């Protein structure tokens, strides 16, 4: 079984619903993986439509639509925060010497 499938099965069996959330640290230890590897696995499962939810208590296999919707809301707020940081960094570019050669950001972003 792939680690991704193992993680989904583990969460479904032992951490079903928000009341059974498990911390990232506990899963990192149980699966002997790093925090980044865990986040990558969770994101891959979510992209496949597996309802892995999270809140301040940790990760869990969603039991209700409301748990999924709360996770989506939290993720959207993180996107807003990241976009605000990008906007601030773009404003900071004005402080640099305009005579320097400006290379486009990877992905073709204009600034």
5-34: per-residue pLDDT in tens?
999 999 999 999 999 999 999 999 999 999
Give me the CATH number covering residue 53: 1.10.10.10
Domain extent for 73? 3-86
Q: Is residue 102 part of a domain?
A: no
The reported pTM is 0.80
Query: Is 37 a member of any domain?
Result: yes
Examine residue 106 and state whether it is found in any structural domain, yes or no. no
Examine residue 21 and state whether it is found in any structural domain, yes or no.
Answer: yes
The count of domains in the chain is 1
**Three-class SS string for 19-70?**
HHCECHHHHHHHHCCCHHHHHHHHHHHHHCCCCEEEECCEEEECCCHHHHHH
Query: Per the domain annotation, does 96 fall within a domain?
Result: no
Q: Give tens-digit pLDDT for 60-110.
A: 999 999 999 999 999 999 999 999 999 999 999 988 866 666 677 776 655
8 domain residue, yes or no: yes
């Amino acid at each position: 079984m792939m680690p991704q499938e193992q993680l989904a099965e583990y969460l479904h069996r032992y951490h079903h619903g928000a009341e059974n959330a498990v911390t990232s640290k506990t899963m990192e230890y149980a699966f002997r993986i790093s925090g980044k590897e865990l986040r990558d696995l969770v994101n891959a499962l979510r992209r496949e439509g597996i309802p892995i939810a999270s809140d301040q208590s940790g990760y869990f296999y969603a039991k209700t639509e409301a748990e999924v919707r709360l996770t989506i809301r939290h993720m959207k707020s993180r996107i807003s925060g990241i976009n605000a940081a990008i906007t601030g960094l773009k404003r900071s570019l004005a402080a640099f010497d305009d005579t320097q050669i400006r290379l486009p950001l990877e992905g073709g972003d204009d600034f």
